[in-house]
Structure 1
């Protein structure tokens, strides 16, 4: 090995008269030049030829190599005699170029001439790092047809333009060459070794003979490329290894304002690469390099000027926030409209003049540790688009422009995902949380159409700045989006709510993405009652939240106002007047503090279920860790409400659903902040079930058993109709729920219930409210109630409804135990489930106290009317 390294050093360091010559006239193969490998299995015979002398074992492979760096503008010659019948088990590969000294391993790259093989041919092959060898020149089959004496002299020439010529002379004299063919192949530009690799069966271990190896490079170097590495360094690549001594070499940049070349240094690892240090910054645009007197390792000198024009686009810089954008999303690729049936993203460089270095940039979903990483050397020019897809899909988009095929490219959810572009240091550079509602087109939502950003100057906006592509193919990967219009964001950020995460930490929630640097100033925030703010921390990855660290702890349930002023969103809009909201440090919930206020269990087509909660206490309560459960005949389904802090103020509503956007589209609300999106929702059967609210310890806070029969019997279609609690302070029983009114769209998520009925109070045993009602489903006095307040518990009541003529209309309750206070509703239906006629009606109330046997009777009148 030491002798091999010394020989390689000599070739790299000093010009030589010939690149490689060995006719074995010195009687050995270990000196001038030194061959290495299976030396014990070769000999230089008495005819001064290299002869195989390996073990007589079928399937043996032998090799010898010697250093040789010649690659282009080179001629290889050698003599061979295979005294055997060539076959697929008996052949010789003479390697002209090899990148490593072990020719037996699959990963060796280069070119070789095969003598023999199954076709008995003389052919030129290329070998890559993986895969089988491939033909460069496929020689004539049957050329080596003798079973005892296959003499051949081979000459291979590679031009500076990577043109290959394969010639052979079967006389062995080298005077009667016949061309086997020509080809062009520029795959491998470097060489470290030349050698032979033999494969044989047991009878042929001594039947390979070689002589007159000669490698000649008679052509001077040429320029291949010049690449700006920094503002003052230019990397110059030649087609072959060049002399390390630059004393006679002249490097010059031409043109007005061209910088001087101060030093030229050959690269230590790649002798074909020279680093030029410049005296001043390299101008942008086209430049020309001129080189004189550069020589290769073999004394060939390019005396005249070598010239090469190159473009300086600028030097890659790391992208900052919103300097690389996701501008197009193909999440649902099937059925394909006109593009490949493959998910992809489109990225864009919106800067005016920055060439972005994307190497190490990470594409991932929020909350995932897996990322698709851009490779080293990946760049994006100013105003340039690129397609990003899985590594196995890159070829499908090759015709659309620049493509980055990345490993670990995560599957994009059809319904929506939160996507992040993060720097090498994990800084969030861009975030988008798309949803299938962004298509704004139910047909395109079904697949084959991309989502496109409308105004690239407004990268922080959501649904208002995205829509389905209008291009006939379904998208515009790699080019300007189909709907490209001005859509600026001129709205300052609004403070939506605040939550006390702990006695000394308050989290503020804003309606849009913020400028994380601009909003980190404690002077922008204030609390009443006054509490000092020691630190402000914007919360990623989308920076819609800000955490305030307080100098002193908050008091439980103390109402506090927080104000924020001059808060800047991520496109520069700043709030003028202070925006404020109230909050308090949450308390431990009292029994029945939060109740089920409304439920939709049988949604419309394309709709979703929801459950609305009401905080009817005077406490501030945190829903973090609470659960919503469904009990049916088939089992229990429990789902988490929130893993993050979510505080309900006294009297506040919250709507739980998996798709707030869908519910809001079907039941418009003026306050979308009352909605809390759940990742999963308990299964609610369309006919009947029980919904249960549980706290962090699994304790039941409230439950409601629903049934479709509880709906107003006059309704023809129950789909999309919610059941609403009529009295907040009443029990979670069927008697305290009613179908939502038609006048409000049959549900009121996030709004006061349409069937809300105030408690009339008072000290009378029984009172009817309202005294006139119109049961038509319009939300206006759709039912009446017998409100009662008793002097003690333990009463049992029966209530019967009669019309003005004394005819039985409805047995409302029979022997029902009553609480001390409560109400009994009548929806205007008779015992047959039909609406009773308009007119006067009498409630006949029988009140019994079982403990004493006392019995009381009451009559109350009511009018069942109709709207004209």
Structure 2
């Protein structure tokens, strides 16, 4: 009989000790978003599946002070699987921060002091929080880790695991999860992809190269997973989302077995990668996932721009007094360029101005950065081709520089101009051929456009290659200006072997009489066209007959370049 009582006592003792240890710390709010005096809390949980535990005489300590756990209005007996929430005594009269977050099934308690420990938990020194039973034994203990954002608690990951730092993490929820399952707790089914799990090779990558994108998927749940999908996206539209239609390839399908705490990787190869910033997403599709907040991650990489991908193409450095300064950029590549992180400076390269958002440059397209929007009062650039920055450098009217930088601060183009290159009051400085050297003075001259510049459009003096000699053509020829809608006008086209010229075009009848002075010392590039409507200088329609078109091209430096003659027939429909 004595042996029987000894056996019973041993059985009760061995059963009693684990029950005490099954109440553990599960969450600590040490840096509350509200008042540290009222809004700190400690959460515990009874891990037992069948036994309730009376917390009478239990205490909480921060190493400097100890407080007794006391009832609020529901007693201090914690049921199997139940969360217990211990709030500051002063919370109930001074705060309602957690009222809407606390589940009805949790046990709300407080302490016999206005704050935890010695004037509350420290936000500057990590403290060890201990849960002490009625026998004075520490049954659960955790030293919290500083660095949380304010209002984000420390939560235990595996509630049955150790209280080591790697088994605790910052809550995913502002205000924490008081009295509720922890946001970082292990779920039965939970796959995750993290930003650090997305990698690129090679790195750095150059424009046009083949890039390999790799993403790791982790099983952070309790159960094995045997089927899911992973999809790679690129943020083509710039809205920072992985939208339908932005998939880089069909979904990868996993149909093996991924054990808990194990991982697997997927790789995608993409060719001819374009320069600029790229935002890549990896997204998991798993129907049984109990936490979809960690099913998508993104990572950014940058591809360097080849030299002279974009160039300075036009500069308005000497506008009229009521006009703004501006510069024009030309994209020489077949890739679209987002200029938002590109910048420009004058000769003071330490002061740079970014183009700003919505600065998109299409392949072979033009983009203008202007001092203010009044540029639209004097020019008619294509819609969406102008961005305004009041911080645009003030370019000197004699010697200065325009420097263009890509997002990695590499100089993409530079022009060191002076007034002898061209440009004047209200007339821009235009590049003749954008492919040729930017710092070659012979590749620049004054705009010959009537408004004084061509912002957002091809330069008025653009020349692919200069013609070997002057030429003159007329079409249609003959023409019949009788307003019947057919051949009412003729176009006189010419080319001269120099980038800029002053052109005279005169029309004579066969007796040598001047009928029309069509172009009088008109500024021109190497090619141009002009329309004759068949009328003379008085506005009267000329008679039917043969007329002589006389072209004279002059240049201030070269003098008389060329004269050309060609006949045109003014006819009438039969």
Give the TM-score normalised by the residue count of structure 2. Answer: 0.34
Give the TM-score normalised by the residue count of structure 1. Answer: 0.23
